[in-house]
Chains A and B, each alone.
Chain A
Amino acid sequence: ILNVEQSPQSLHVQEGDSTNFTCSFPSSNFYALHWYRWETAKSPEALFVMTLNGDEKKKGRISATLNTKEGYSYLYIKGSQPEDSATYLCAPTDSWGKFQFGAGTQVVVTP
């Protein structure tokens, strides 16, 4: 079982501000890392899958970086909008391929 930590647990952002948060995981035996966005009453939505050290992925105003040597990934939201309000989950996989989710970072964007 991987020890996955996400921080902060929650954050409040003013509309238009940028923000970022962290997913930490054991650096040994890295296989892949998945990011999801989960809005209330909806299905978790896949954002990124990252596999290589130094990977950077971007989708609109959201981007992510990966450092497998030190065991962390950052997710950035540029110019936050109310529709970005959601819980963001990261999930590294173990050697079998099972997702090991963190507890998530809850983002609230206020107008």
Chain B
Amino acid sequence: GAGVSQSPRYKVAKRGQDVALRCDPISGHVSLFWYQQALGQGPEFLTYFQNEAQLDKSGLPSDRFFAERPEGSVSTLKIQRTQQEDSAVYLCASSLRGIDRVSDTQYFGPGTRLTVL
């Protein structure tokens, strides 16, 4: 079956531009996560959706970052007025059940590499 897909795979933006990153999770998965991976670091949690509800957005670095999952499937991470420090790989993951199922595997997409010039 299809895994998690993300688009675009690579994005170059000029500082100040808005960008939108898309995630298509595995069909039927309840949970969807966004992570940010800066160079030399592990992925860091950004936000979590259970179906269409955004239950945790504690990792979003600033109010320039916004995520949505309006119909409980596809999700979009939007970054407004991009800054150089936003350059990173953005990973999306989905899992079958809710986040409280701590042993459930998260299935990752290949990521979007964002470079802000």
Contacts and interface: CB of A to CB of B under 8 A. Distances in A.
B103 A98 contact: no
A60 interface: no
Nearest to B106: A99
Nearest to A95: B102
B45 A44 contact: no
A99 B45 contact: yes
Interface in A1-60: 4, 6, 31-32, 34, 36, 41-46, 49, 51
For chain A, what secondary structure do more than half of its interface residues adopt (helix, strand, loop), or is it mixed? loop
Contacts of A46: 105-107
A96 B100 contact: yes
Contacts of A97: 98-102
A93 B42 contact: no
The residue in A4, A91, A99 that gathers the most chain B C-beta atoms within 10 A of its C-beta is A99
B75 to A, nearest CB: 16
Contacts of A100: 45
B90 interface: no
Contacts of A91: 42
Given A34-B105, A99-B106, A103-B42, A44 B91 contact: yes
Interface in A61-111: 89, 91, 93, 96-104
A102 B91 CA distance: 15
Contact of B42 (A31, A41, A45, A102): A102
Contact of B45 (A43, A45, A98): A98
Nearest to B45: A98
Interface of A: 4, 6, 31-32, 34, 36, 41-46, 49, 51, 89, 91, 93, 96-104
Interface of B: 3-4, 33, 35, 40-45, 48, 56, 91, 98-111
